[in-house]
Amino acid sequence: MDLNLKGKTALVTGGSEGIGKGIALALAKEGVDVAICARRMEPLKATADEIAKATGRKIVPITADLRSDKEARNFVEQGHKALGRIDIMVNNAGSAAGGVIEHLTEDDWEKGLQLKFMGYVRCLRYVLPIMRAQGGGRVVNLIGNDGVKPSYWEICPGAANAAGQNLTLSLAGQYGKENISFVAVNPGPVRTERWAGLVDAMARDMKIPREEADKLAPASIPLGRIAEVEEVANLVVMLASPMMHMVNGTMIEIDGGQDKPLMDRFRDRPRG
């Protein structure tokens, strides 16, 4: 199926690795020119060069720490200048510390909200006037299923995600009349570069063997495995298509039907 994306342009935050890199690659394969951002230029440029070589599309690396309003604005402005317009905005950058409330510090909460929520707000603040002036656009916010499937072990990302989901639905109502549509994509566990570290931390905090910790998430998913980056990227690209423009003000989980409370029960069971 032709997704009618050839010749479109996109901004993708957190584009140097993981889900963001997968999305940038998948968009470029469909004929989209992409500006990507991350905090460090070396891996960002390596990713841009890799995707450009594989697809023949224009991939623009721009360093940005989205905890800074100035840097978020610069990313949007430089991306717009390099690409000529912004048809698609994919907010993806950001993470928040896991753990129960007793172990989370003030700094954990501040970083989580800054990275996983306010970075999205800042980019949208500067992207939306551009989309309005050009007559429309598409926003896909990568958020996370913690916001709709709460877990006390992930209370900080859950709070940040819930805020992002509310933001997405609220802006869909405001900007629909400007031909700008919004959708939230809520991944569950995904096999990225960070996944091994998350399993290590889970094993450490729960004092269980790493092999056991690695089975917790798949055991909570009916499909019996976590998602691959390409699966999330494919969904985002489909939703970014003009053919999906009417999918507005809604959220889509991509988590294999995860029953997240199962993870909590597995974690809480008595240890031998």
The tens digit of pLDDT for each residue in 171-187 reads 999 999 999 999 999 99
**Domain assignment of residue 167, yes or no:** yes
pLDDT bucket at 272, cuts 50 / 70 / 90:
low
Convert the pLDDT of each residue in 19-77 to its tens digit.
999 999 999 999 999 999 999 999 999 999 999 999 999 999 999 999 999 999 999 99
Mean pLDDT, range 137-146, rounded to an integer: 96
pLDDT at 241: 98
pLDDT for 2 beyond 70: yes
Q: Record the tokens describing residue 98, joined without a space.
A: 């896991």
Structural contact between residues 93 and 143, judged by C-beta atoms closer than 8 angstroms: no
The mean pLDDT value for 72-100 works out to 94
Give the whole-angstrom CA distance, residue 191 versus residue 131: 33
What is the mean pLDDT of the segment spanning 122-131? 98
Flag whether 83 is in a domain.
Answer: yes
Q: State the DSSP string of 120-161.
A: HHHHHHHHHHHHHHHT-EEEEEE--GGGTS--TTBHHHHHHH
pLDDT for 270 equals: 59
Helix (H, G, I), strand (E, B) or coil at 218: helix
pTM: 0.94
Q: For residue 11, which amino acid is it? A: L
CATH code, 167: 3.40.50.720
Does residue 272 sit within a domain?
no
pLDDT digits (tens, 9 = 90+) for 187-234: 999 998 778 777 877 777 777 888 888 888 899 999 999 999 999 999
Work out the mean pLDDT of the chain and round it to a whole number. Answer: 93
Distance, CA of 129 to CA of 170 (rounded, Å) = 16
3 lies in a domain? no
**DSSP single-letter state for residue 87:** S
Residue 19 covered by a domain = yes
Domain span at 199: 9-266
Q: If we measure between CA atoms, which residue out of 64, 192, 209 comes closest to residue 126?
A: 64
> How far from 50 is each of 101, 109, 163, CA to CA, in Å?
41, 35, 34
Q: Is residue 4 part of a domain?
A: no
CA distance 18 to 14: 8
Per-residue pLDDT at 97:
83
Instruction: Decide if 112 is inside a domain.
Output: yes
How many domains does the structure of the chain reveal?
1
Length of the chain: 272
